[in-house]
Amino acid sequence: MSVTDQMNNDLAQRFSFDELDARGCYVSLNESIVDIQATHHYPEPLAKLLNEFAVSAVLMRDSVKLNGSLTIQYRAGTNSQGGVSMIIADCSHEYGVRAICEFDAEALPANTDTLDLRTIGAEATLTITISPLEGRRYQGIVAIDSSSLTECLQDYFLRSEQLPSRFEIVADVDHAVGISIHAMPEQDSEIVATLKDDWKRLNFLLDTLTEREMHELDAHTLLTRLFHEEQCRIFEEKAVKFSCDCSRERSENALKSLGTEEINALIAEQEVVTIDCHFCFQRYEFDQQDLEGLLG
């Protein structure tokens, strides 16, 4: 595969260090970003932020050592007037990514290229939900105390895992790239002391990384240049794509959850009930015979 082909691919590429207790992941999204943006007409600053959430979902999913999906949800307080009420991005166990945002274009801050998470939604929270294919869901919630998504994610890992993590994400309307690094848990006091020095060095190297390099360099070139003295081991890439898990069965279950009384009301009032997926715009229609079948 050529460098150009790799840069145009949507991929997640894990890496680790032979002599350091840290690991990381590189994610590049192109076609999936186009698919996410095609479903809605987002203002440019919001489109960039939504793409950051999409990349973050893939980076976070890669850090989870189980089969399942991971969802990142930003939700503003009930009285917020900052323009954004909710942002959701998730990544499945098969690295299918999707993202969506609920917003009021007129209430968004004007004349800015970057949106501050603290001002677009008052009293906002960030929720990370891990949904394994088997077993119970895990959910962690942190308050939005920082302006950027990367800082919020780092805060989440420090609070939930008690381990330092670092995220670097750059996003345009049609392209987004992210890198995450996580320290590995160690109990030995001497190793912990060494890790602190190693972590400072890794953070210093990431500080030298420019947005242009992240946008223009393929994963292997970027990681090799950045960590050329750290014996960085780069693993096989995983393909990422836009994917939505909506289905007619899920829509049926949503209708069933309304209860008998509500379904009977729908039968009396409407000839056809439609349910639209806001992620992919797939439409599911249920006529009166379908609704009666749900009651059976």
pLDDT-based confidence at residue 1 (cuts at 50, 70, 90): very low
pLDDT, residue 88, reads: 94
What is the arithmetic mean of pLDDT over 286-290? 84
Question: How far apart are alpha carbons 52 and 171 in whole angstroms?
Answer: 6
pLDDT exceeds 70 at position 194: no
Q: Which long-range contacts (CB under 8 A, 24 or more apart) does 141-150 make?
A: 144/74, 144/117, 144/118, 145/118, 146/117, 146/118, 147/116, 147/117, 147/118, 148/117, 149/49, 149/52, 149/53, 149/56, 149/117, 150/52, 150/56
Q: Return the higher-pLDDT residue of 198 and 217.
A: 217
Q: Are 8 and 1 in contact (CB under 8 A)?
A: no
pLDDT exceeds 70 at position 2: no
pTM: predicted TM-score of the whole model, two decimal places: 0.85
Question: How far apart are alpha carbons 73 and 62 in whole angstroms?
Answer: 17
Domains of the chain, earliest start first: 3-242 (3.55.30.10), 248-295 (3.90.1280.10)
**Which range is least confidently modeled, 87-91, 207-211, 281-285?**
281-285
pLDDT exceeds 50 at position 167: yes
Question: How far apart are alpha carbons 221 and 66 in whole angstroms?
Answer: 29
pLDDT exceeds 60 at position 191: no
pLDDT exceeds 80 at position 78: no
Q: Are 22 and 181 in contact (CB under 8 A)?
A: yes
pLDDT, residue 186, reads: 63
User: Residue type at 232?
Assistant: C
pLDDT-based confidence at residue 54 (cuts at 50, 70, 90): very high
pLDDT exceeds 80 at position 59: yes
Q: Give the count of beta carbons closer than 10 Å to the beta carbon of residue 30.
A: 17
pLDDT-based confidence at residue 249 (cuts at 50, 70, 90): confident
Q: Return the higher-pLDDT residue of 208 and 243.
A: 208
How many CA atoms lie less than 13 Å away from 10 in the CB half-sphere?
Answer: 26
pLDDT exceeds 60 at position 152: yes
Beta carbons within 8 Å of 95's beta carbon, 6+ residues apart: 12, 58, 61, 238, 239, 240, 241
pLDDT exceeds 70 at position 5: no
Q: Return the higher-pLDDT residue of 221 and 249.
A: 221
pLDDT exceeds 70 at position 218: yes
Q: Return the higher-pLDDT residue of 15 and 82.
A: 15
pLDDT, residue 189, reads: 46
pLDDT-based confidence at residue 193 (cuts at 50, 70, 90): low
Strand blocks (E) in the chain: 11-17, 22-29, 68-75, 84-91, 96-103, 125-132, 138-143, 165-171, 176-183, 232-234, 238-239, 241-242, 272-276, 283-287
pLDDT, residue 192, reads: 52
